Structures are given as structure tokens and as C-alpha cells.
């Protein structure tokens, strides 16, 4: 499965410091995976609930694929708000299908760009979706960014039904073929067609919950051989407007662990060269990522299964179960 990384903070951070330089940065998670002893590994493909605990390799787990199907980053600089009359901060996105460490343009961009909010995603394509830039995450809808780790079960069977649920505007904003971009279009249909409007964290949460419910209902109506082992939908999702964040760790089978997802509110100082003295970095920050990119396990916490990570404009973090 894919990997993704989110940084959201009061202090600007250099993209190079969070995406390139760490020994286990996301661009180095192509085929080497590191999990601190915080997460119990599972194999959703074969229905194995729990493998050996305390293992630093997920070779047998859901992340055994080599992630070479594209890379993308989305970030906010505030330039659009400064130069446009509407004063709305919209994201910039850079995508490529080359291995990220071989992309000199990406390395140069990251070495000279600072931001208070970044989404980064490295893709392991599923469902035979082609490896093209339009299929790379994150996806832009107005002021928002959206990305996903996982897959929708039987997406090819529910695609027509899903398309019928989309608003015209959301449908016209889909440029690729991935299940994720169609899922995102469904989310923004539920959020409403004004994607420049600022929404509350509760509005974002409710739109995400409705989207998940819709997808599960569509999948439940698909037909399959009763002897077939059906892999449950894995929906580790994230959406931001540059100031707020809704992230989800979800698997449509409560007997299994969803793909890994961690959060940290303390790992930021070690990732910011502007403040070599860690005590001087005083701003709040949140990191949410498929895997930690620093090695101090005390900085990282596993997001509970089937839960929201909600971060409001004041960078207050709340964990909330998707269902009571």
C-alpha cells in the first residue's frame, strides 16, 4: 500500500528537512519499512489477525509492495492569498512518476521551500491504475488537499454507482482513474461545491463520515463468489485546508488492524534546522504519517483503529472513534 505524511504547524518548516533528509523520510520508504514496536502487524489479504509483535519489518503485512508508482507533495505558501483579490490560500502540488530521490527538480524545490502545511504521498498503485501523474496524490479541490493510503474493495464494480452520486463540479474535477480521486470527489460532493469556503472541523468530519458510509454501502451491494476471500476496504484518508486537518485510520473489518498510522506533537524540533536548540521551537505542530520519520518511539503514538484525527485551526488535536 501507499505511504503518506502530513506536517501542520505554527512554525514554517523546510520541505527538505521533513521529506528528504531524515534517515527514514517518506521518499526513502519506497521498499524499506520501519515500524517502532507500537503497531501489531497484520495481513488483511489472508485474514490473519495478528502476526509477531515487536517486529521492525512488515514484509508479510499490507505494506509489502514496492512503492514506485509515483510521488506527490502539496503545500501552502500563502502566495495566492497575498496576490489574489479573494485572499484565499490555495495549495501548490508537485507530482512525478520518477523515483523521488532521482528527481532533481523535487530535490531543488524541497531545498528552497518552507511551509506550515505539507501533504506528501508515495504511491503503490492498485487495481491496475496506470502510473501517470494524474493518478498521483494529493488531489486538489479548491483550497483543499486530499490523499489516501489503502484501497476500495471492488472499486471497478461500484464505480458507476459512485459516479452517479457526484455533483457535476466534483465529477469535472476528476482527471485520473484511481479509486482515491473518485472517493475525494464524493467527499467534496458531500462538503458542497464551494471549495473556497472555509469549513469548520465538524463539517469536514461529517462529510468524511458520510463518504465512508456511502463507500461501504456501495461495496456491500457488490456481488462476489461466496468462496472468494474479499479484502476489506482500507481507508486511511487525510484532508486539509492548510489550517485544519481531518485524518482517518480505517479498515472495514473491526477484527483486523487497519494499515499503520501514527501521530506526533513532539517530533518537529529534530526535523527543523532553523531551531538546532530544540527548546527554541515554541510553536505547536502536528505530524500524522503512515510511518514515523524519526527514531525516538516516545515521540510517536499509534492512531487507534477506525478513528478520526481532528486538528482545528488552533492546532488542538482530538482523537475520536468514527462510530460509537
pLDDT in tens, 195-252: 999 999 999 999 999 999 999 999 998 866 666 667 889 999 999 999 999 999 999 9
List pLDDT tens digits, range 157-185.
Answer: 999 999 999 999 999 999 999 999 999 99
Are 309 and 319 contacting, i.e. CB atoms less than 8 angstroms apart?
yes
Averaged over 113-126, what is the pLDDT? 88
3-state secondary structure of 274: coil
In this predicted structure, the answer to whether residue 59 has a pLDDT above a threshold of 80 is no
Supply the pTM of this predicted model: 0.88
Phi and psi based region of residue 89 (left: phi greater than 0; alpha: psi -120 to 50; beta: remaining): beta
Residue 32 has pLDDT above 60, yes or no: no
Note down the domain range covering 264: 3-321
Residue bearing the bigger pLDDT, 25 or 132: 25
Per-residue model confidence (pLDDT) at position 61: 47
Query: What is the Cα gyration radius of the chain?
Result: 19
Distance CA 187, CA 208 (A): 6
Backbone angles phi, psi at 216, to 5 degrees: -65, -40
Mean pLDDT, range 122-142, rounded to an integer: 80
- CATH number of the structural domain spanning residue 90: 3.60.20.10
pLDDT value of residue 35: 52
Per DSSP, helices labelled H in the chain are: 15, 79-83, 104-111, 155-163, 168-172, 179-191, 201-220
DSSP per-residue letters across 96-136: ESS-GGG-HHHHHHHHT-EEEEEEEEE----TT----GGGP
Tell me, what's the pLDDT at 254? 84
Task: Indicate the pLDDT class of residue 45, thresholds 50, 70 and 90.
Answer: very low
Question: How many other C-beta atoms lie within 10 A of the C-beta of residue 298?
Answer: 9
Q: What is the mean pLDDT of the chain?
A: 85
| pLDDT attached to residue 215 | 96
| pLDDT at 43 (0 to 100) | 45
Q: What is the pLDDT of residues 284-315, one digit of tens each?
A: 999 999 988 888 888 999 999 999 999 999 99
Q: CA torsion sign, 126 to 217 to 39 to 75?
A: positive
pLDDT of residue 2: 79
Split into its structural domains, the chain has a count of 1
User: Which pLDDT tens digit goes with each residue over 74-92?
Assistant: 999 999 999 999 999 999 9
Confidence class of residue 269 from pLDDT cuts 50, 70 and 90?
Answer: confident
> Where is pLDDT greater, at 124 or 322?
322
- Mean pLDDT value of segment 47-73: 54
Res 320: pLDDT? 97
Cα–Cα distance between 25 and 277 in angstroms, integer?
Answer: 21
Amino acid at each position: 500500500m501507499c505511504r503518506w505524511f502530513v506536517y501542520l504547524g505554527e512554525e514554517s518548516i523546510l520541505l527538505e528537512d521533513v521529506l528528504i533528509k531524515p534517515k527514514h523520510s517518506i521518499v526513502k520508504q519506497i521498499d524499506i519499512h520501519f515500524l517502532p514496536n507500537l503497531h501489531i502487524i497484520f495481513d488483511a489479504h489472508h485474514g490473519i489477525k495478528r502476526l509477531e509483535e515487536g517486529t521492525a519489518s512488515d514484509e508479510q503485512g499490507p505494506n509489502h509492495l514496492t512503492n514506485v508508482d509515483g510521488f506527490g507533495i502539496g503545500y501552502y505558501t500563502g502566495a495566492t492569498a497575498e496576490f489574489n483579490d479573494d485572499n484565499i490560500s490555495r495549495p501548490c502540488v508537485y507530482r512525478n512518476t520518477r523515483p523521488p530521490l532521482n528527481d532533481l527538480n523535487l530535490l531543488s524545490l524541497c531545498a528552497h521551500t518552507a511551509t506550515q502545511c505539507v501533504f506528501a504521498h508515495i504511491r503503490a498503485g492498485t487495481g491496475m491504475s496506470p502510473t501517470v501523474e494524474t493518478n498521483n496524490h494529493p488531489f486538489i479541490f479548491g483550497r483543499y488537499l486530499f490523499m489516501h493510503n489503502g484501497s476500495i474493495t471492488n472499486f471497478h464494480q461500484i464505480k458507476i454507482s459512485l459516479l452517479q452520486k457526484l455533483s457535476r463540479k466534483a465529477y469535472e474535477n476528476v482527471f485520473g482513474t484511481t479509486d482515491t480521486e473518485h472517493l475525494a470527489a464524493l467527499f467534496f460532493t458531500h462538503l458542497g461545491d464551494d471549495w473556497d469556503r472555509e469549513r469548520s472541523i465538524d463539517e469536514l468530519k461529517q462529510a468524511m463520515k458520510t463518504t465512508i458510509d456511502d463507500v461501504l454501502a456501495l461495496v456491500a451491494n457488490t456481488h462476489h463468489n461466496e468462496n472468494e476471500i474479499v479484502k476489506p476496504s482500507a481507508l486511511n484518508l487525510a484532508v486539509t485546508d492548510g489550517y485544519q486537518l481531518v485524518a482517518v485510520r480505517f479498515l472495514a473489518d473491526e477484527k483486523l488492524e487497519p494499515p499503520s498510522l501514527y501521530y506526533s506533537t513532539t517530533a518537529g524540533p529534530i526535523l527543523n534546522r532553523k531551531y538546532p536548540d530544540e527548546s527554541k521551537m515554541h510553536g505547536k505542530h502536528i505530524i500524522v504519517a503512515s510511518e514515523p520519520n524519526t527514531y525516538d518511539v516516545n515521540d510517536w503514538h499509534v492512531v487507534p483503529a477506525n478513528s478520526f484525527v481532528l486538528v482545528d485551526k488552533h492546532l488542538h488535536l482530538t482523537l475520536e472513534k468514527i462510530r460509537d
